[in-house]
Structure 1
Amino acid sequence: METTTPISANWSYTQLTPTRVPDGAKPSTVAQQEKEWHSVHKFPTGVHVELMQRNEIPDHCKGLNEWDIQWVGESDWRFKTTFEITEEQSKQDNVDIVFEGLDTFCHVEIDGKEVLYASNMFQTYRIPVKEFGKGEHSLTLTFPSAWYEAKRIEAAEMEKNLPENKDPVTGEQKKLSFWNGNSSRLYVRKAQYGWGWDWGPVVMTVGPWKPIYIHAYTAKITSNRIDTILDSSYKTAKLRSKVQVSHALKDSSVTLTLSDTSGKSIKTQTIKLNDNGEAEVEWDFTVGEDVELWWPVGQGKQPLYNVSAEYKLQDGTSISRRKDRIGFRTIKVVQESLIDAPGSSFLFEVNGRRVFCGGSNWIPADNHLTECTEERYRAWLQLMVDGNQNMVRVWGGGVYEFDYFYDICDELGLLVWQDFMFGCGQYPANKQFLESVQVEAEQAVQALRNHASLAIFAGNNEDYQLLESIGVVVDYDDKTSDFTKTNFPARHIYEKLLPDVVSSLCETYYHPSSPFGGQTSGDKTVGDLHQWNVWHGSQEPWHNWDILAGRFVSEFGMEGYPDIRTVDYWLDGNEKERFPQSRTNCSHNKADGFERRLELYLMENFRHAFDMESYVYYTQVMQAETLAAAYRLWRRNWKGKGKELTSGALVWQINDCWPTTSWAIVDYFMRPKPAFFAIARELRPFTVGMARKDVKTLDNPSSDAYFEIEQSLEIWGNNSSVEEKKATLEVVSFDLEEGKVVDSKSTEVVLAPNASTEFFKGTVAGQPTRTLASQLPKIIVVGARLIDQDGTVLARYANWPEPWKYIQFPEVGLTIKTGEDGETLTLSCKRPIKGVILDVEERSTDAKDGEVKWSDQAIDMMPGDDQVVIAKGLKGRKVKARYLGDGSA
């Protein structure tokens, strides 16, 4: 039987000196010396983690420490240990050492002999070591600086005068184009965010970041491709399994077993291997009797099944085993013509049901990936489910995530949009690079393909968009050219190499890029779209989300400060830096022009203060309003079959890799920002939405002096269930200044299944028609609720006149009552309130001590509509509330 033995003990590490300095783009020839050796405190590990453990470098998450640790990534490092090939292992026909992940360039030596030069952080390497014989052996890993290796490779490639190194306009020699980091990163198969991004620091990690082990075997199961196919009625399911065995012996077989997660066997079969070491089965099942269908969260349950493969010799001796976990489902990307709309749809259909995808983009959860435990991943992904999200996009500038990330997505019902690891760059496509990418892609697809949650592979993040931005003309109709000889050589990767790998290894849909579709990457009518004309680009008001919609918006966002506790963490007690424009706060926001852009949106909409806590509050409310508006308006575009004008929205981003101000809706310490809750409300199964606009009608087209202005109002609802829903729509118009209700209506409505439904189109009740520009509109707040037949509030939304900076806020009479359990809060008011954010009145100085988990934040309130907030961990302490116009500085 095969055996797997970890090589995880007695590791030590040292820095090599002197640091190599490129000399004419060539490595230094000066002999390097080992400095003092130190034992690692854990394995797998990274140099930064070990140095912090020994207090040799400061925490880069605090203050300006990021800039004091750059020498680590520009140094060479060595790790060493010993391992034993036992007598039992040596009797096996094959003895390999498997390196699941080396970051990034690495010379591997056994007993002083180099057996591997690794150069791809994403690859798993397998090295035969049986020749070294039984007994103890030394294992040494030498990691040259990826920073300098990238610079060296770049300089060598620049000498070749390649098409991609010519400016498309001037023809002058230039480096490859990129957004974020450094141009040299494009030549290195390493997590690209390590060079720094517009939300993350420069942390050039190095070391053995995944397990290393000895694998001894006679023969082994190398893979099992499992496809589940449903018939057109979705009542029968087919399972196809193709097992591959390496070093297979004559007259051997594989026994395949399908069982549920309790271990109950559903079907089993033994198959002889063919001459290629393969065994294939095809089984039919009845849905609802033999197996159940897997659904995304909110659409049904997530039953999972185990497919076990056992490789046996002719006499029945077990040689190798493998177990995969699957779900029975079919996921399709539907792109078809729309009714009375240009372009085509871009939607996900699961088991024949079209699903609106509301979710988030995912970046690596830490700069130090070895610190990302399974428990931490589960907490992150559970937050998404708690926030009513059903899709996560693994962004192309990070890593193919750990296996348990995808396992958890399977269990929770989170659909996975998986990018290949290329981001914001004009990547090369030379022979060596392509060979490395080929292996990387094959390994990634084989690792992910059996996961029920996997919905789509995308070739890269924004690489076509980047090339368009620098003037490269992309002929999207050209499918035959040798792209490696053009100024966009990576098209060969995205349109030939990767689709060939995906189609040969699995059934998952492949998308060349994100965004991609139409004749430009910015086409709003075809494919997916990254809508950054709010914040970036033309810096549109967020109220224009409706006209900025795409068929599937896979990126959009707005920055907001994290919890004040997180700010205080990075300030590290430096009270002199506790103001928004401080050097430390600016260092913890990596977005270009963030001061101007934050202030643009703040000044357009708020009267705000500049003390630290006020700035945190206002940017958080702004982020919450911006993102909620996007989901509200785009979900309205999900109008039913043939009218899926917008089929999904994935906010940039769910998480952070360090404590910072960014577009994340949950900060590094997993403290949800108010935006998290605002999005969660817009992704509930039932929602109600409103939109108002001033409509100006001229009496005479030749004159601007005579006109009428009315305030239009539209109301709609959303239903994500597959059944129609009967409800009561209550609409209340409240005059904020006069402090009274001016109109109240109640109407019976029916929400169409799996679609939005229009309820009302007219004018704001109580708002007079204006005939002079100097006439101020009344401050009418319109509240809408959907009430279930049993009296339950299904959804609520309050529509306020904007911008809020013009509003003179009166006293609102907010009261907060704490229940007997000390954690149930009931909020009520006498006049409408905008943007309530709750906190404990007295915070602990300990960052995590006594923190409260709130069930809701960024709350809008209407009189007579009390709202309940659960505050886990409050324990009866006093609560304070902040809201617009509350008199705070």
Structure 2
Amino acid sequence: MLKITFFLLLPFLELAAQSQYELNSGWECSNISGVTVKGEALSVPSYKLTGWLPATVPGTVLTTLLNNKLVPDPFYGMNNMRIPDIYHIGRDHYTYWFVKDFTEAQPAADGQVWLHFRGVNDGCDIYLNGHRLNATTHFGTYLRFSYNITPWLAKDGHNRLAVIVYPSAILGNPNGGQGGDGTIAKNVGPQYTAGWDWIQPMRDRNTGIWDKVTIERTGAVRIKNPHIVTRVPGVRLPDTKVQAPATILVSTELENATAKSIAGTVSYKLAGNTISKKVTIAPHATVEVQLPDLELKQPALWWPAGYGPQNLYQLKLSFNTTKAEDTEDVEFGVREIQTYWNAHTNSREVAVNGQKIFIKGGNWITSDAMFRFSKERYDAEIRFHRDMNLNLIRIWGGSLTERPEFYEACDKYGLLVFQDFWMSGDCNGRWVDPMKKESQWTRRQYPDDHSLFITSVIDQVKMLRNYASLAFWCGGNEITPPEDILSVMRDSIIPKLDGTRFFFHYSNTDSMSYNSLGGNGDGPYNIQPLSVFWNERTFPFNSEVGSVGVGDYESLERFMPEENMVAPVNTPNGVDSVWDYHKYIPYFDHLDPYGKPKDIRDFANKAQLVNYDQYRGLMEGFSAHMWDWYTGVIIWKTQNPWTALRGQMYDYYLDPNACLYGLHNGSAPLHAMCNPTDGSIYSVNNTFKYYTDVMLELKAYNMAGKDSLITQVFTEISPKTVQKYLSVKSAIEGLGSKEGMFLSVRLRDKNQQVISDNLYWFPDAKGNYSGLQKMEAAKVQITAHKAGTDSIAVKISNPANGPVAFFNRVSLVDAQTKKRILPVFYNDNYVSVLPGEEKIVTISGDMVGKSGNAAVSVYGWNVPEQYISIN
């Protein structure tokens, strides 16, 4: 019996022995000036490497130099100016050999071993054990490539891989323009590396083996590029007990690496169903196989954040002959994304599983300007976006096609993704620009190699198409690709290789948002009066609109030298060189109503009040007109991959500022709000739930904390609607004329629990926050205790008969150094506590569990900073 069991398990044991692993440590590198032999000799394991540097792979050349302390941190102060720029010093300065010794035995029988590169910028030649693997130099920042290295593996299992990486052919003059002089776009690669209005140039233009290198073992046949399509007909709800079936369509490529025909079965199991198909693959051939469709009963659907759960399925695709040849694990969500033209708004409307979704999005550049990516950082950043109550991220076209780990996090947290390809109107010729080297007509035909662009698109579509979060493809940022590229993408690549997602020709195309207002269909990008967000109609699906985003004092001191920690003055040129270098957008006189900043700390704290108000007001203003003026909005922008002083909800070091929590509040799925210009009260419901017997409660508070009930009224709130109630303008003007006032706008459920909580602060009749400036201190009581292995509950109690405890920042800090522990996540922050009430702020995340000696810091407008021990 034991013998029979062993033979039954044999295929699975062989399968388990197959594996894929990363070559992500133990690399060494040398500039080409220090290498006198050719790649064939260098890649022989016995060749001694003398004086080589430890190399960071995946990583860029600049990352390796930084990690070896050969250059200063380009994100700090003016250090980037001290690093030689490739345009001036020449390509050879950043041309490097990378070498990796690894152990891999020759496989038995028909076994195969594959070497995979997921991203090299820009050109490279590859050698293994004295053999050159690529006949011609590989080019293409975004192009994956693989080699069957089985014939070249060493008999003793000791192997050496040597890769020379060449910078882009065109380096771009970093002359201060968007993408420098624009010629960086002649390459098929990231354009921001020559500098933009939110970043300084990356000196090596991100040259390097910037993404993963892996070794894979298979049998004679390798599974490649599986494709899973989910069809979800009809109109669905996430909490339906009986869910109608969905249809699952699975196909895959199979590559036969041997000189003989191979017959076998490709199959997968899902929800108790086994789907399979027999196939014969000719020698040295690759075939695409479509398996029979599966009707998936009672599917657990995937929904965007705020609308339902993010259910995911695991599917193991396998190819078997008399033994297991290869498997491929695919995680996917069952959902269907539809789009329609809304003739009322004149813009694109998005639906998921038949339900229309009001798009609340953020623009994303990339996680790190030097391409230092990690699964953990991606997870943290996407979690922040979920915590902002957003439901979409747009990947800007001047950067890259985001990595699978980014999409895994978006699948996990429910963020739809709008993926641009690698074009930008700035570099690719949409506008007259005196900073650009070549004419619009010439730039309009960038890049130089159209075939490489098309090949890269094909590859990246195959890499990303299985992710539930991927919602749209887009030809480029603010411009289409050249017509020959566009037509192939639109008419062939996207329909044939995907066929499930809408393709926007460019990011602000009329097919997304009909522009009847003139201009570019984007913006503005700076501080706006709240009346603009609420009362002035803009583009009906604005792909880029935003404001400021300076972090607080703790954020600034991470990358600002001490001598530059000085509050800027209210003039266009009122900042020093470091602030200017880090792309500061002036706040001008917007802080003055709170009292002119006394110093840098006071400036940063008051900036948070403006930050909060701006992003709460932005999303509230758009939401107030959803389905009437707008079908969506995408904020420019929600993060920085560099230490920039603009457009960010959290800083490069993953420390959130008040922008995040103003947006968190203003974007809440169920939200009660006030138009600050006319006092109109609204509710907005971005859920599928119907709320009955809801109490709308409006209270005013003066600076001493005395409250006045304005009104409370029962209401019903329908799904996916915005509802206008009454105006409280007279109450605001009457009660707040002398010192200003607070307005509490709440919704309570039938159990009298608060389900929407919004507190506004209004200035006096002269537009100044005179009452805030002389508020008495709130005598709060604060406690903190562990609420779980990775969570802490912080309770702020404000006694009755005192003032509002206004605008409190909660932080998890090291108990000794008092420095913030990052990243951690707060269910809310910059919170205010009304007299006689309490609020609980929950801190969570992996770092909470890892931080043994931690404390909680709390400070507010009228709450002195306190450090609280954690019980």
Matched, 1:193 2:192: yes
In 2, Cα distance between the equivalents of 1:817 and 1:375?
A: 35
Residues 446-472 of structure 1: CA distance to partner in whole angstroms, max 9, x if unpaired? 1111111111111111236xxxxxxxx
For 2:42, the equivalent position in structure 1 comes to none
SS of the residue corresponding to residue 361 of structure 1 reads strand
For residues 746 and 439 of structure 1, do their structure 2 counterparts lie closer, same or farther at Cα, with a shift above 3 Å needed?
A: same
Residue aligning to 2:118: 100
Query: What does residue 10 of structure 2 align with?
Result: none
- Which of 54, 57, 70 is residue 43 of structure 1 equivalent to? 57
Q: Distance in 1 between matches of 2:567 and 2:731?
A: 43
Alignment-derived partner of residue 550 in structure 2: 561
With over 3 angstroms needed to count, the CA separation of the structure-2 counterparts of 1:758 and 1:493, relative to structure 1, is same
State the aligned residue count: 773
> Partner letter of residue 611 of structure 1?
D
Q: Could you tell me how far 1:149 is from its partner in structure 2?
A: 3.1
Matched, 1:782 2:800: no
Report SS of the residue matched to 1:570.
Answer: coil
Give the residue type in structure 2 aligned to 1:532: G
> Quick check: 1:826–1:867 contact (8 Å CA) kept in 2?
yes
Query: What SS does the aligned partner of 1:622 have?
Result: helix
Query: CA separation in 2, counterparts of 1:391 and 1:881?
Result: 32
2:116 and 2:826 map into 1 onto residues whose CA distance is 45
Secondary structure of 1:359's aligned partner: strand
Secondary structure of 1:346's partner?
strand
Cα deviation per residue 1:262-319 (whole Å; 9 max; x = unaligned)? xxx433323335887232223343542xx32221222222222233322233xx3332
Aligned residue among 560, 572, 577 for 1:571 = 560
Distance 1:364 1:610, change over 3 A: farther
State the partner residue of 1:332.
338
Match of 1:163 in 2: none
CA distance in 2 between partners of 1:193 and 1:306 (Å): 36
CA, structure 1 residues 843+811, in 2 after alignment: closer, same or farther (shift >3 Å)? farther
Stretch deviating more after TM superposition (393-402 or 243-252):
243-252
| 1:279 equivalenced with 2:289 (yes/no) | yes
1:831-867 CA distances to partner (integer Å, 9 max, x unpaired)? Answer: 5676454569999656446998654334456556654
**In structure 1, what is the Cα distance between the partners aligned to 2:803 and 2:646?**
33
For normalisation by structure 1, the TM-score amounts to 0.78
Quote the offset at 1:637 in angstroms.
1.8
1:613: how far off? 0.7
Map 1:64-103 → 2, pairs under 5 A? 64-71=78-85, 74=90, 75-81=93-99, 88-89=106-107, 92=110, 97-103=115-121
Three-state SS of the structure 2 residue aligned to 1:116 is coil
> CA–CA distance in 2 between the matches of 1:145 and 1:614?
45
**Which amino acid is the alignment partner of residue 348 of structure 1?**
V
Q: 1:287 to 1:764 in 2, by over 3 A?
A: farther
CA deviations 1:501-526 (Å, max 9, x no partner) are: 1111111111111111169974469x
Name the amino acid aligned to 1:569. R
Residue 617 of structure 1 aligns to a residue whose secondary structure is helix
Tell me which residue corresponds to 1:881: 860
Amino acid at match of 2:643: P
Give 2:263's match in structure 1, choosing from 238, 241, 252.
252
Note the C-alpha offset of 1:348. Answer: 1.6
CA distance in 2, matches of 1:182, 1:500: 33
Distance 1:545 1:883, change over 3 A: farther
Asked if structure 2 preserves the Cα contact closer than 8 Å seen for 1:302 and 1:411, the reply is: yes
The alignment partner of 2:225 has SS state of strand
- Structure 1 distance, partners of 2:776, 2:667, is 28
Aligned pair in 2 of structure 1 residues 332, 784: CA closer, same or farther (>3 Å)? Answer: same
Letter in 2 for 1:149: I
Matches within 5 A, 1:831-850: 831=803, 835-837=807-809, 845=817, 847-848=819-820
2: distance between equivalents of 1:851 and 1:365? 14
Q: 1:347: which partner in 2?
A: 349
Cα distance change on mapping 1:311 and 1:827 into 2, 3 Å: same
Q: How is 1:581-730 mapped onto 2 (pairs within 5 angstroms)?
A: 583=576, 585-587=578-580, 589-590=582-583, 594-595=585-586, 598-599=587-588, 601-602=590-591, 606-609=594-597, 611-638=599-626, 643-693=627-677, 712-726=678-692, 727-730=694-697
* CA contact 2:302–2:311 (8 Å) conserved in 1: yes
Q: What code does the residue aligned with 2:460 have?
A: A
Give the 5 Å matches for 1:733-772: 733-734=700-701, 741=707, 744-761=710-727, 763-765=729-731, 767=733
Q: Find the counterpart in structure 2 of residue 403 from structure 1.
A: 404
Structure 1 residues 518 and 229 mapped into 2: Cα distance closer, same or farther (>3 Å)? closer
Change (3 A) 1:214 1:767: closer
Structure 2 alignment gaps of length 5 or more = 1-14, 36-47, 237-243, 429-442, 569-573, 786-792, 866-871
* 1:746 positional shift: 1.3
1:97–1:213 contact (8 Å) kept in structure 2: yes
Checking the alignment, whether the CA contact within 8 Å between 1:345 and 1:644 is kept in structure 2 is no
Which residue of the partner structure matches residue 307 of structure 1? 315
Deviation at 1:684, TM superposition (A): 2.1
Query: Is 1:440 aligned to residue 456 of structure 2?
Result: yes
Q: Distance in 2 between matches of 1:766 and 1:718?
A: 22
Letter in 1 for 2:59: T
Instruction: Give the aligned residue type for 1:237.
Output: A
1:270 aligns with 2:259: no
SS of the residue corresponding to residue 785 of structure 1 reads: strand
Displacement of 1:785 in angstroms is: 1.4
CA contact (8 A) 1:766 1:780 kept: yes
For the residues of structure 2 that align with 1:579 and 1:350, how far apart are their CA atoms?
46
Partner of 1:122: 142
| Partner-residue secondary structure (3-state), 2:630 | coil
1:856 counterpart = 2:840: no
2:192 counterpart SS class: helix
Once the two structures are superposed, what CA deviation does each residue of 1:795-833 show, in whole Å capped at 9, x if it has no partner?
Answer: 133344458852421435523211374832124674567
Change in Cα spacing, 1:762 to 1:130, as seen in structure 2 (3 Å) is: closer
Contact 1:734 1:741 in 2 (8 A): yes
1:442 aligned partner, one-letter code: I
The equivalent of 2:779 in structure 1 is 815
Contact 1:562 1:660 in 2 (8 A): no
1:236 aligns with 2:245: yes
Task: Pick closer, same or farther for the CA change 1:839–1:42 going to 2, 3 Å.
Answer: closer
Superposed displacement of residue 199, structure 1: 2.2
Q: Larger deviation: 675-684 or 755-764?
A: 755-764
Shift of 1:66: 0.8
Displacement of 1:355 in angstroms is 1.5
- Could you tell me whether the CA contact under 8 Å between 2:810 and 2:858 is conserved in 1? yes
The answer on 1:515 being equivalent to 2:516 is no
Q: Which has the higher mean CA deviation after the structures are superposed, 873-882 or 244-253? A: 873-882
Residue 392 of structure 1 aligns with which residue?
A: 393
Question: Is contact 2:512–2:541 with CA below 8 Å preserved after alignment?
Answer: no
Q: Is the 8 Å Cα contact of residues 569 and 847 (structure 1) preserved in structure 2?
A: no
Aligned: 1:504 with 2:496: yes
8 Å Cα contact 2:30-2:53 kept in structure 1? no
Cα distance in 2 between the residues matched to 1:312 and 1:842: 54
Alpha-carbon shift at residue 619 of structure 1 (Å): 2.1
Q: What displacement does 1:777 show?
A: 7.7
Q: Distance in 1 between matches of 2:625 and 2:821?
A: 44
Q: CA deviation at 1:876?
A: 6.8
Which of 59, 69, 88 in structure 1 is aligned with 2:73?
A: 59
Q: For 1:714 and 1:797, locate their aligned partners in 2 and report how far apart those are by CA, in whole Å.
A: 14
SS of alignment partner, residue 699 of structure 2? strand
Aligned counterparts of 1:824 and 1:766: Cα–Cα separation in 2: 30
